[in-house]
Structure 1
Amino acid sequence: MSDLTGTPTTELVKQLSEQSAQLVREELRLAQLELRQKGGRAAKGASLLGGAGVTALYGLGALIAGFVALLALALPAWAAAMIVAAVLFLVAGVLALRGKKQLELATPPKPEEAAESVKADVQEIKNRGHR
């Protein structure tokens, strides 16, 4: 740091303003770079997870085919396939009902508790202002 003794206050304020603005710009650039890097990693991770999901879906299909083949040892193949399909539709129905319930709990998509809290805070401030 240089010696600032004897520097006029207006000059010091000007330097402070310029340095503060420069610091904010540099911090914003650093934040943008960091977010860009993290965004790239997130995209790569999401695509890998998508690939894993598709692969798992094929695996599930093979497992279901195995169950059908196993049941076909005791029943006609068409009956085994119908039984497995019925079980899968039952599971899908249960999952759909649970998902619907969760969506109903999430709507409307507004922060109701936070809004009530803000209203209470505003009311408290008004009440304190009237004292």
Structure 2
Amino acid sequence: MTHPVDQPQPPSGVPERGSGHRASALEAEDGRSIGELLSDVSSNLSTLMRQEVALAKAEVRQSGSRAGKGAGLFAAAAVGGLLFLVFLSVSAWWGLGRFIGNDWSGLVVALVWAAVAGGLAMAGKKEFERIRGLQQTTDTISKIPNAIRGHEEENR
């Protein structure tokens, strides 16, 4: 009888030589191939993107609803403010009418409102003149073709 020679055993999980089980270089530890893993990654990424888009849509709907309500309230406040100014103007017209007559007081109130409108128009014109367009967006969009071609140094 011969005694078996004590040979080192492979670590657990590693197939023995000659057992017929060979771990493929293209298989994961759970036995799935790289192709299957990439398919799972692609599927998960697609699901994640769909969920992110759905979340963004829900947030936009909620924000849009609140913005619509806010705009409606501002419009109602503007109508109220306009009515206030109309009645204030009528009161000023009648108040001044006691001193200089209704004809002249109406003209004075109209001239005051013409001056206010002219001042607001000039301020609005200055604000429009300050508009420079979408400079940053134009700059970055013009750099995209060079970046795609790999010539990013031309963008500097």
Q: What TM-score, normalized by structure 2, do the two folds share?
A: 0.67
- The residue type equivalent to 1:61 in the other structure is V
Q: Say which structure is richer in helix.
A: 1
Aligned equivalent of 2:62 = 37
In 1, Cα distance between the equivalents of 2:105 and 2:57?
Answer: 57
Aligned equivalent of 2:37 = 12
Higher relative contact order (CA 8 A, sep 6+): 1
Return the offset for 1:82. 0.7
Q: Which of 100, 122, 126 pairs up with 2:125? A: 100
Name the Cα RMSD after superposition: 2.6
Secondary structure of 1:7's match?
coil
Alignment of 1:126 with 2:126, yes or no, is: no
In 1, Cα distance between the equivalents of 2:36 and 2:141?
Answer: 43
Aligned equivalent of 1:111 = 134
Identity across the alignment (%): 33
In 1, Cα distance between the equivalents of 2:42 and 2:89?
Answer: 68
Return the offset for 1:37. 1.4
Aligned equivalent of 1:69 = 94
Larger radius of gyration, structure 1 or 2?
2
Where structure 2 has 5 or more consecutive residues not aligned to the other structure, the ranges are: 1-28
In 2, Cα distance between the equivalents of 1:73 and 1:88?
Answer: 20
Shift of the 127–81 alpha-carbon distance from structure 1 to 2, 3 Å rule, reads closer
- The residue type equivalent to 1:17 in the other structure is S
Shift of the 118–9 alpha-carbon distance from structure 1 to 2, 3 Å rule, reads closer
Return the offset for 1:112. 3.5
Shift of the 37–127 alpha-carbon distance from structure 1 to 2, 3 Å rule, reads closer
Where structure 1 has 5 or more consecutive residues not aligned to the other structure, the ranges are: none
